Each structure stands twice: as C-alpha cells, then as structure tokens.
Structure 1
C-alpha cells in the first residue's frame, strides 16, 4: 500500500494551554495518525500534539507573528469550485453494511451488557458510564420515554445492574442515538474485538479508496453516531485489517446530532477549511445530507444494498461505490 511521506519540517511547540486541547477532545475531535503525517501549522488552525489538537492563534513562526493561521481551501469566486481538501465519511450504510451493525454489533452489546457491567462494575470507566446513563434516564423519565426505568442511586449492585440492563435493552431496541448509550456500547464491543468474537466488515471498495485518497493528499475523517472508541475499533479490526492509518480523525455525537446543520459547521471549524464546499461528506441518510448541505459542504449519498429509501427527487448525487469518486 502507498505510504505518505513524513514532512521533514520541524514541528513547532504549542504556546497554547494544555486544557485547550482537552476542550476540543470533549467536543468530539480525536486525532488519527493519518499516514503518520501531522498537519502542518501553516495549513490548519489545529495541529496534533501528544496531548491532542491545539488551536494555533497568535503564534510566533520562524520569527514572525501569525494571527489566526487558517487553511485556504481555494476560491469559489466566479463559480469556480475549490479543490477538495477533506472527506468526511459516515459508517453505517456508507463504509459498512447496515446488517453488520444491526445483526452483529447491536445484538452483541445487548447480550453482553450484564456480563460487562458485572465484570467491570467497580472500575472508574464503568462508574462513569453508569452516571451518564443515570442522567439520561432521569431526563427520559421526565419525558415519559417508553422503556425508561429508574436507576437506583442507593440500591445494591444487583439492583443497579438490573435497571441498567433494562434501560440499555430498550434504548438499543429503539435505535437511540444518544452519547451515554454509545459510550457503553463501545466499551462492550471493545471486549468483543479484543477476544476476536467480532470482526468488522467494510465494503470491498473502501480500502482501495482510502489508499488512493491518502496518496492524493486528501484528509479523511469519520463522523458517526457511534462513539469514537467504537469507530476506532471498527476500522482497527476490519476484514481487510487495520485501516486506521488512512484516517485523520473521528467525530461522534458529542459534537452534535448528525441531522443538525450546526454539527457540520463545527466540523468545518475544526478542520480549518475556509470554504466548506472543499469538504465532501458521504452518508446514506437524506436528513444528514440535507444538514451538511445547509452548512455548505459538498455532499454525496451512498446507495448500498440494504440502505433505506430516499425521498423522490432528493437532488443529491449518489454513488454505489467509492471507486466512483
């Protein structure tokens, strides 16, 4: 497979406080290796340090002060479309069959939630998962959401686990796209991938396209309702091996709902692209495509076996394979 050369230029030390990077991490950004190439400061308002992406602002570069260094994605003046800079991919129905998610991942999480909670109950990670779910369930109960049952705050361990299992099963059945559920699912799936009980599936055209795009200098990112951990697990354990080297980062619902325009505006800001049409977003869901288009992104809809129907005259370009891009 083609390898991207590593820049010989020096990496500047950030003058921004360490907490800045953590703020972006919690908002939904996670850096990827992206062919082992770190984004060059002159081309992006973030660069990847060992602590995470750092905003570049009012920095001294080569003895000169730069104010708000940002990417130049090309000009769309006079009707000229800017050069494509980044590709953002959905997972389910775009890189991966819907059947893998519905027939493998969801059942595995549902069938193993009790076992996972019993084995890891006293860990800080699981306690954090429980508190996140408790907050969500409290909100659900106030809204009379079907399937929501109270999670005891002072009950014994078994009572807490039993109530959690009931809520998680109801959430999975309803296919809810909520961060607390996705966070727990990712931790359960990690055990399945580690034990080789699960192997992720991507379409045959995906690895070749990722390799081609990397060779072209395009930066590829994932935006999914699944947690960032789940995304890394999927692309790190595919039927074609570990594909994470082709990916530059991961976004999940902590950055926003995938059907809301503001989420794609946030992604554009994080990627540091001035003209949003230089970012191509590919999804199988019409509402996501419409939201991304409203944010100015270039959009294509993925047509794969088993994907849901699209509205008549939806107006988007469609593809059946990444080889068509």
Structure 2
C-alpha cells in the first residue's frame, strides 16, 4: 500500500447505501415478523432467553410473557427501533432463511464492482450497520450477485460498536481496526451518521440513491453511485 495514500479503510452502511431499504424492510423484516413468535416459544429456556430478558428490560415489562414479548419485538420491528434484543433474534431467525434459499442479500448494481475494485486496490473494507453482525455476514455471503464476504475484513453493529449517531462508536471502530481516524472513509445514506463519523475524525461521503428515504444534507459531499467514489 502506498505510503502517500490518505485513505486506508472504507466502512459502509447497508440499508440505503449498499442495498435498497425495501429489500431489508420487506424481505428481512417480513421473514422475521412471521417467524418471531414461534421462535421465541420454541427456544424459551435456550437461545431465546437473552432476547426475552433484553426486551423485558428495555420495555420496562419484567412480567411480560413470551407472547407479550413477541408483540413488543414486532412493534419495535415495525417502528424501526434499534433494539439489541430484536437484532439478536433477527440474526438467528434469518440465518435459517439465508441457508434455506428463502433470503438473499440484495445490492444496488454498482456496489459489487466497486467493492471488488477497492479490495483489489488494497483498501480494507468494513461494514457498520444496525443489523446484527450475523445478519450482515449472511447478507454479504448469500448476496444475489454472488458471495461478497471475502471482500469484507470485519463487521460492526450496535452491540460491538454502539449507536450509529454517536461519535464514540466511530472512535471505537477505529481503535478496533487499528487505522487512524483520518484514514477511514465512511459511506452512509444517513446525515446524522455522517455527522457522527466526521466528529470522530473520519472522512465521510453521503449516498443519496433515487427512491431512498434519506436525502442530502450539507455540509457533506453526496453521491448516487459508488463509481463516483475514488479513494486515494
């Protein structure tokens, strides 16, 4: 890698950035919504216990039974609450869907080629998303364009890095990957996330794709295609 290169690592968001929001919310969320009540009931006393405990604590409902917790989690899913207990359950449930062929990682057409180009050029690629690390890995491994997981050096989520709108989360990621903040580029569709990354000393570029819910906001540079990003 050239000693004069200013960027060493590129961190990407998923929803609205590498992938259509609809593919996440309709397919991934829909699969979770359908199977969540049954999974909680079948796995009480095992894998579901941390999910139940976390949801009860966050909701302030220590007495909630399994069916009530399922209703709480589905409400959070419908209102896009970034709850760790929900993301954990979703990761486990959707892992089955990816492996059965019911789910695939969907990507904007420009993304696979850009990721391959950046990887070949020596940039370390990472993912930071509110979805669980398990879901992230499956999303890239079972990508409809073909397995993209070998291109990714690491994944971060709410439990491993923290909230995406807080600068401390980006500081934690920089420390974990061992790259100085000023040598990390972050790509996201959410202005608040870009603000937090910049506050942590990162470079950041907004991604505003047609039909996606988040629009450009100053002072960041915005693109609508990964081909417009020329890291150096």
Deviation string, structure 1 residues 182-207 (Cα, Å, up to 9, x no partner): 11111111121122111120111111
Equivalents in 1 of 2:69, 2:54: separation in Å?
Answer: 11
Give the match's secondary structure for 1:301. Answer: strand
Once the 2 structures are TM-superposed, how far is the Cα of residue 137 of structure 1 from its aligned partner? 2.0
CA contact (8 A) 1:84 1:280 kept: yes
Query: Of 102, 110, 119, which aligns to 1:214?
Result: 119
Query: Of 91, 108, 130, which aligns to 2:52?
Result: 130
Unmatched tracts of structure 1, length 5 or more: 1-42, 44-72, 76-81, 139-149, 154-159
Q: Between 184-193 and 303-312, report the one with greater CA deviation.
A: 303-312
CA contact (8 A) 1:200 1:235 kept: yes
Aligned to 2:31: 108
Equivalents in 2 of 1:161, 1:194: separation in Å?
Answer: 26
CA contact (8 A) 1:227 1:253 kept: yes
Once the 2 structures are TM-superposed, how far is the Cα of residue 118 of structure 1 from its aligned partner? 3.0
- TM-score normalized with structure 1 length: 0.66
Once the 2 structures are TM-superposed, how far is the Cα of residue 310 of structure 1 from its aligned partner? 3.1
Query: Of 158, 163, 166, which aligns to 1:260?
Result: 166
Equivalents in 1 of 2:214, 2:222: separation in Å?
Answer: 12
Aligned to 2:128: 223
CA contact (8 A) 2:16 2:189 kept: yes
Once the 2 structures are TM-superposed, how far is the Cα of residue 165 of structure 1 from its aligned partner? 1.3
Equivalents in 2 of 1:304, 1:278: separation in Å?
Answer: 25
Kindly report the root-mean-square deviation, in angstroms, between the aligned alpha carbons of the 2 structures: 1.9
What stretches of structure 1 move > 4 A for 4+ residues in a row?
Answer: none
1:293 and 2:202 aligned: no
Computing the radius of gyration from Cα coordinates, the structure with the larger value is: 1
Number of equivalences: 228
Aligned to 2:223: 319
Aligned to 2:9: 86
Q: Give runs of aligned pairs for residues 164-183 of structure 1, distance below 5 A.
A: 164-183=69-88
CA contact (8 A) 1:205 1:323 kept: yes
Equivalents in 2 of 1:310, 1:193: separation in Å?
Answer: 31
Give the match's secondary structure for 1:240. Answer: coil
Deviation string, structure 1 residues 245-273 (Cα, Å, up to 9, x no partner): 00000000121110011111111111212
Aligned to 1:310: 215
Aligned to 1:27: none
Equivalents in 2 of 1:305, 1:232: separation in Å?
Answer: 26
Q: 1:74 to 1:291 in 2, by over 3 A?
A: farther
- TM-score normalized with structure 2 length: 0.91
Give the match's secondary structure for 1:92. Answer: coil
Equivalents in 2 of 1:302, 1:311: separation in Å?
Answer: 8
CA contact (8 A) 2:189 2:214 kept: no
Deviation string, structure 1 residues 166-187 (Cα, Å, up to 9, x no partner): 1111111221012111111111
Q: 1:220 to 1:169 in 2, by over 3 A?
A: same
